[in-house]
Structure 1
């Protein structure tokens, strides 16, 4: 279970502080894969960072009664000065995983070859996404947080990304930010919409998509 209670988050702005998350309360229950929708700047990524623990709320509380991944698509999980392999060694220690097993899975999955021995700052954005996705999928979490990026690269690699994620979701739950209704429908059954700092819940994914598209002028 992931429980948010009266969560608020704001950031400094020219005219004072800008409220991004305003008094949000929600339970993300196990087994209910949820799509998080909203326009640009609505606070979706901020919500993901709060859920993951990458940021803390100004007020309210976030309770995680399960293991939660970092937000996939959020580059903060990789240190640019370290090589891909060094990043894996660090992550293996943090999560108590066997480094050789983690390395074997990620090197085979990410398909970036000798770049695993180069500093991550030298990677293209696509290579960083491949490594980030591979590391996240190599560790079995109770909840996977995916911010926009669900599949990168060519058709074959995208298919591999979807296959491994589908396999993980047999025993885990996903919270997914995406602008693609087809991706949302493929992996989620429930939907919420971020709007003016508030989180709106709906009885079904289709109702959430319908509301979101109407709020965006049918986009």
Structure 2
């Protein structure tokens, strides 16, 4: 379970603080693959970043006893001066991977960067960086994978491979997904959280959530 306790999140503006969440108490249940739904501007991406720990509440806290990934395909923690191989070993070590040699082999195979796996990441294209980050993330056994438009990574061949890997992970662990593609939400998720006017509502029935979302 992920617990939001008195969470407030706002952004300052010329018109005053613009609140996304205000004194929210909410439990995100474990054991579900959850899509985050809401109208444009409702704060879906902000909520996602809060869950990922890439942003922090202005007040309150978010706690969990689960091992949560960084957002899949986001090149968080990738060091430009290090090679792909060095980055893989560093990320594996930071995330407590026991067999770094096996992890390195998995990342190298999945990222399919050929000889560039041993070259500095600063020379990679944005797509290559994303492939490396995706490969590192998907090769670690997390309890929950955070997915934000992750299947848009790379060329069509890699997209198919990424989608297949995510489907497999969603059967073994859980996912929390932000996507504008309802077909993608249906493919990966069995339930949803609707964010509307700063309040969160969990729907165990995904289709009920989508119907509610479409009527917002």
TM-score, reference length from structure 2: 0.87
Aligned-partner Cα distance in 2 for 1:124–1:27: 39
Q: What is residue 114 of structure 2 aligned with on the other side?
A: 113
Q: What is residue 21 of structure 2 aligned with on the other side?
A: 21
Q: What is residue 33 of structure 2 aligned with on the other side?
A: 33
Q: What is residue 133 of structure 1 aligned with on the other side?
A: 134
1:152-179, CA deviations, whole angstroms, 9 ceiling, x for partnerless residues?
3344322222222222223311000111
1:10 aligns with 2:10: yes
Alignment partner of 1:170: what SS? helix
Q: Is the 8 A contact 1:191 1:204 kept in 2?
A: yes
Gap change, CA 1:21 and 1:123, over 3 Å in 2: farther
Question: What is the alpha-carbon root mean square deviation over aligned residues?
Answer: 2.1
Gap change, CA 1:163 and 1:188, over 3 Å in 2: same
The aligned runs of 1:62-81 (5 Å cut-off) are 62-81=62-81
Q: What is residue 159 of structure 2 aligned with on the other side?
A: 158
Q: What is residue 169 of structure 1 aligned with on the other side?
A: 170
Aligned-partner Cα distance in 1 for 2:22–2:73: 24
Higher alpha-carbon deviation: 196-205 or 28-37: 196-205
Alignment partner of 1:32: what SS? coil
Gap change, CA 1:196 and 1:126, over 3 Å in 2: farther
Which runs of 5 or more residues in structure 2 are unaligned? none
Aligned-partner Cα distance in 2 for 1:154–1:53: 29
Alignment partner of 2:104: what SS? helix
Q: What is residue 188 of structure 2 aligned with on the other side?
A: 187
1:83 aligns with 2:83: yes
TM-score, reference length from structure 1: 0.86
Aligned-partner Cα distance in 2 for 1:170–1:203: 17
How far the C-alpha of 1:93 sits from its partner, in A, is 1.7
Gap change, CA 1:131 and 1:145, over 3 Å in 2: same
Q: Is the 8 A contact 1:143 1:173 kept in 2?
A: yes
How far the C-alpha of 1:151 sits from its partner, in A, is 4.7
Which runs of 5 or more residues in structure 1 are unaligned? none
Aligned-partner Cα distance in 1 for 2:126–2:197: 30
1:58-77, CA deviations, whole angstroms, 9 ceiling, x for partnerless residues?
22221111111011243333
Q: What is residue 56 of structure 2 aligned with on the other side?
A: 56
Q: Is the 8 A contact 1:151 1:162 kept in 2?
A: no
1:118-144, CA deviations, whole angstroms, 9 ceiling, x for partnerless residues?
333433232222112111110000011
Q: Is the 8 A contact 2:76 2:133 kept in 1?
A: no
